[in-house]
Amino acid sequence: MPPRPTKRLLPATVLLLLGLLWLPAPAPAGVFDPETFTLDNGLQVVVVPNHRVPVVSHMMWYKVGSADEPKGKAGIAHFLEHLMFKGTATRGPGEFSRIINRVGGSENAFTSYDYTAYYQNVAKEQLGRMMALEADRMANLKLAPADVESEREVILEERRSRTDNDPASQFGEQVTAATYLAYPYRLPVIGWENEMRGLSHDDAVDFYRTWYAPNNAVLVVAGDVTTEEVRRLAAETYGVIPSRPVPDRAALRGQEPPQLAARRLEMASPRVDQPSWSRRWLAPGVIWGDTTQAAPLEVLAEILGGGTTSRLYRALVVEAGIAVSAGAGYSPGGLGPQTFAVYASPRDGVEPAALEAAVEAEVTRLLRDGVTDEEVASAIIRMKRQAVFVRDDMLAPARLFGEAIVAGGGIADVEEWPERIAAVTAVRIAAAAKAVLVPETSVTAVLRPKPAS
């Protein structure tokens, strides 16, 4: 079985990279021109034709992630993702993956706060087979208690290697937990170790039966296909699975209460070589809060910290010479509260406090003076150039549309992105910055080396 990455909330020092997931279109709207339909059982299907090469990406997205887990069961969504490869009533453990390997395909799966997804990249003539395999495990997953026990050890080892052995990842969990007072984004996708150890066979089966239904899923097929082909194959495979009621995710998650006090976290570890400083603020997204601020915040992140020409990089790295890196990050996709972040790492001999003062000076200047029309125009051009390569990735449109829909949006969130970004003005950015960059919702984080005793 191939490794399956877990999408975890990364430390603030790399939040900028997450924004690229929501840079879907480099040219006029309609660049992907998808078609969509819904089967009688509620399964939404999105087709993105691309006939350049005879391959397809087949992605099944479920509208459930770690933020939908029962209290005390942190990590069950990711655990079930692993267990979905253990076999069905008609196929043994690992058979799914062996079939894909035999036909020369590739596969993977991932879990996030708002969704869980499974995909295969195969030759176009294998599409029907992929649909049959995926439909089988949507409806007929079979979990032996022994498989659950062994796979629990796998996810615990994954946590040890990816989080517990990495001070930056450990600190990132602490910062995220402090960022949200109540909203379940505060819990790590992989889970807390003490709760992971208690995840049982019954927990996995209950979670599967609660959420894995066709009416709670989105199928995206991108590549050398037609909508007619996909409609026929989907009806023959997924269409025979009955729908069933699923919980109201918004009701289960609850609301984030008003935040009234700034928070600050510091951590020192002998395994840290390079200090880092960051600050994040609670921010609206494309679903949560004042959604009109999402596009201005995207452009602001580019102006403030989107590369070597950004304000923070020029001020701290080039001009003052006190930092080795500096930037900003914002990703608007998701059902719940998002974050806007700035970050920097000091040069040798520079204290994080000096770096913090320099970043704060740039944020103060932004709030006082705003940004220029020239900065906005330049940032929009750069953003579209950064996004252009997504068109050459066969998997990219399948991921972009799937992520947008299962995280509460729709096809328009991808197709109309150029117009939304082009409509951003300096006035709108100034208003969004003043609304979001307030002390009460901020979390400042300092990670520093600790001399070994």
Q: How far apart are the first and last CA of the chain?
A: 42
- Round to whole Å and give the CA distance between 405 and 398: 11
User: Residue 149: which residues within 8 A CB-CB, separation 6 or more?
Assistant: none
- Return the bridge partners of 283, or none: 338
Q: Active site residue: 81, 256, 298, 403, which one?
A: 81
Radius of gyration, CA atoms only, the chain: 23
Residue 262 near residue 444, CB atoms below 8 Å? yes
CA dihedral (113, 116, 120, 126) in degrees, to 10, reads: -150
- Round to whole Å and give the CA distance between 327 and 308: 9
- Round to whole Å and give the CA distance between 269 and 278: 17
Query: Shortest CA distance to 78 belongs to which of 167, 253, 204, 206?
Result: 204
Cα angle, residue 282 at apex, residues 276 and 285 outer, rounded to 5°: 115
Q: Where are the alpha helices (DSSP H) in 160-238?
A: 167-179, 193-196, 201-211, 227-237
> Can you count the helices (H) and strands (E) in the chain?
18, 11
CA dihedral (117, 121, 124, 128) in degrees, to 10, reads: -40
- Round to whole Å and give the CA distance between 416 and 424: 13
Tell me how far CA of residue 362 lies from CA of 163, 252, 340, in angstroms: 32, 40, 15
Q: Is 134 a catalytic residue?
A: no
- Round to whole Å and give the CA distance between 322 and 352: 10
> Computed from CA positions of residues 65, 69, 72, 78, in that sequence, does the dihedral angle turn out positive or negative?
negative
Residue 404 near residue 46, CB atoms below 8 Å? no
User: Residue 143: which residues within 8 A CB-CB, separation 6 or more?
Assistant: 83, 86, 201, 204, 205
- Round to whole Å and give the CA distance between 378 and 385: 11
* SS3 category, 279: strand
Catalytic site residues?
Answer: 81
